Amino acid sequence: DGGITQSPKYLFRKEGQNVTLSCEQNLNHDAMYWYRQDPGQGLRLIYYSQIVNDFQKGDIAEGYSVSREKKESFPLTVTSAQKNPTAFYLCASTKEGTLDYGYTFGSGTRLTVV
Amino acid sequence: QKEVEQNSGPLSVPEGAIASLNCTYSDRGSQSFFWYRQYSGKSPELIMSIYSNGDKEDGRFTAQLNKASQYVSLLIRDSQPSDSATYLCAVNTGRRALTFGSGTRLQVQP
């Protein structure tokens, strides 16, 4: 079955650590997105990529980095510069690079600072 | 003004009633509109999309769009306890990515 796989499901980060969240899709979608969700809030855009080897900052990119070396993969690194990283992170993709069909979401990664 | 606004709720309805969820948006150029359902601790799942003015029905769900008034709504008929979730409104404004509201929490009381 096609879909988006995010791993790990739960991640714990110590102060000053960088951590990487994985997002892999086998839907042959061109565009991929990373969102952050805080309790009781909507989704805020971190980064997005519409083609391989290209990505753009979203509304809250500070303290995060991404890469898009393969069409199937769009990993997100939460760096030590992100001072409040505890949140639910969602990866999404869209069919044929258009927003008209909405997103397919992965199951999410819950990141906690310890 | 937020780009996409929703009442955070909770909206509480008795089982079997109609639940009405509303969403307003600020960009008149917005092109397509989506409703996602999100259970606690889970990722959002797409339940309805709507592109033109009027109503669109799918089973117990009806999406309504009024571009002149810049609102989109979701009606859930015969509400069930399993419908208890947060409902996110998302809008395609023609820019880079969907813009989401903060969601409305629905509680269906058995």
Considering only CB atoms, B43 lies closest to which of A40, A42, A107, namely A107
Confidence of residue A72 (pLDDT cuts 50, 70, 90): very high
What are the start-end ranges of the E strands in A1-114? 4-7, 10-13, 19-25, 31-37, 43-51, 54-57, 64-66, 76-78, 87-94, 104-105, 109-113
Give the C-alpha separation, A1 to A55, whole Å: 27
- What is the predicted pLDDT for the residue at B93? 83
Q: To the nearest whole number, what is the mean pLDDT of chain B?
A: 94
Verify whether the Cβ–Cβ distance A56 to B46 is below 8 Å. Answer: no
Asked if B63 and B56 count as a contact pair (C-beta separation under 8 A), the reply is: yes
Contacts of B104 by beta carbon, 8 Å cutoff, 6+ apart: B6, B7, B8, B9, B11, B21, B22, B86, B87
Whether pLDDT at B1 is above 70? no
Asked if B10 and B98 count as a contact pair (C-beta separation under 8 A), the reply is: no
Verify whether the Cβ–Cβ distance A100 to B4 is below 8 Å. Answer: no
Verify whether the Cβ–Cβ distance A42 to B46 is below 8 Å. Answer: no
Q: How far is A80 from chain B (nearest CA, A)?
A: 25
- What is the predicted pLDDT for the residue at B96? 82
Residue type, A6: Q
- Cβ contacts of B49 on chain A, cutoff 8 Å: 101-102
- What is the predicted pLDDT for the residue at B101? 95
pLDDT digits (tens, 9 = 90+) for A8-49: 999 998 888 999 999 999 999 999 999 999 987 889 999 999
Q: In DSSP terms, which residues pair with B86 in a beta bridge? A: B38, B105
What are the start-end ranges of the E strands in B51-103? 54-58, 61-66, 71-76, 85-92, 99-100
Verify whether the Cβ–Cβ distance A107 to B42 is below 8 Å. Answer: yes
A81 conformational bin, left if phi > 0, alpha if psi -120 to 50, beta if neither: alpha
Give the C-alpha separation, A97 to A44, whole Å: 19
Q: How far is CA A33 from the centre of its chain?
A: 6
SS3 A99: helix
Whether pLDDT at B50 is above 90? yes
Confidence of residue A1 (pLDDT cuts 50, 70, 90): low
- What is the predicted pLDDT for the residue at B60? 97
pLDDT digits (tens, 9 = 90+) for A79-111: 988 889 999 999 999 976 677 788 999 999 999
Confidence of residue B98 (pLDDT cuts 50, 70, 90): very high
Over range B57-68, report the average pLDDT.
Answer: 97
- What is the predicted pLDDT for the residue at A97? 61
Confidence of residue B14 (pLDDT cuts 50, 70, 90): very high
Residue type, B84: S
pLDDT digits (tens, 9 = 90+) for A53-67: 999 999 999 999 999
Return the biggest CA–CA distance within chain B: 42
SS3 B81: helix
